[in-house]
Amino acid sequence: MSIRQREWEARLRLHVFQLEETRRQVGDIELMIADFRNKQKELEAAIRMEEEQSGISDPKDVRYPLSALDMRKRHANLGRSIEDLEKQLQIAMERVREAEEELESAREAAQRDGVEVTLPPMSPALRPSI
């Protein structure tokens, strides 16, 4: 194996690593969003239960259960966190697209340079779903 081929393989492995890492970040963010949404649903059910037990569903009523008020605040905080994570997800997905383009450009450059490079396959869970 020539030095030039080793250099191209190292460069392409770096691009593959960067792509896999950005895809992993997307997956992590998606899992957090799903987890927060599940927690919101659980809070909604707990709030309904508290309201049913107390017979009071108006949060402005002085007799409204404090635990339900607290759960409403947590529910709202989770909603804001989900919004922030969705913004982060869009940014991460754009980074994935850029990393895919960079990898493809590097592969094409290696081919133009006359170097055939065989890279190990990407992690199955991180392969594009397209």
Residue 120 lies in a domain: no
* Phi-psi group of 114: left, alpha or beta (phi > 0 → left; psi -120 to 50 → alpha; rest → beta): left
| Averaged confidence pLDDT in the chain | 91
Cβ atoms of 26 and 89 within 8 Å: the answer is: yes
Is a pLDDT exceeding 80 seen at residue 125?
Answer: no
Nearest residue to 98 via CA among 23, 7, 28, 31: 23
Q: Is 96 a domain residue?
A: yes
Domain range for 20: 3-113
- What is the distance between the alpha carbons of residues 98 and 77, in angstroms, rounded to a whole number? 32
Q: What does pTM read for this prediction?
A: 0.80
Is residue 115 within 8 A of residue 8, CB to CB? The reply is: yes
Within-domain flag for 127: no
Residue 129 lies in a domain: no
Alpha-carbon gap, residue 43 to 40, rounded angstroms? 5
Q: Decide if pLDDT at 126 tops 70.
A: no
19 part of a folded domain: yes
48-96 pLDDT, tens per residue?
Answer: 999 999 999 999 999 999 999 999 999 999 999 999 999 999 999 999 9
| Least-confidence region, from 21-35, 44-58, 73-87, 106-120 | 106-120
Lowest pLDDT segment from 8-12, 66-70, 117-121, 123-127: 123-127
- 126 falls within a domain: no
Does some domain include residue 100? yes
Give a yes or no: residue 42 inside a domain: yes
* Overall number of domains in the chain: 1
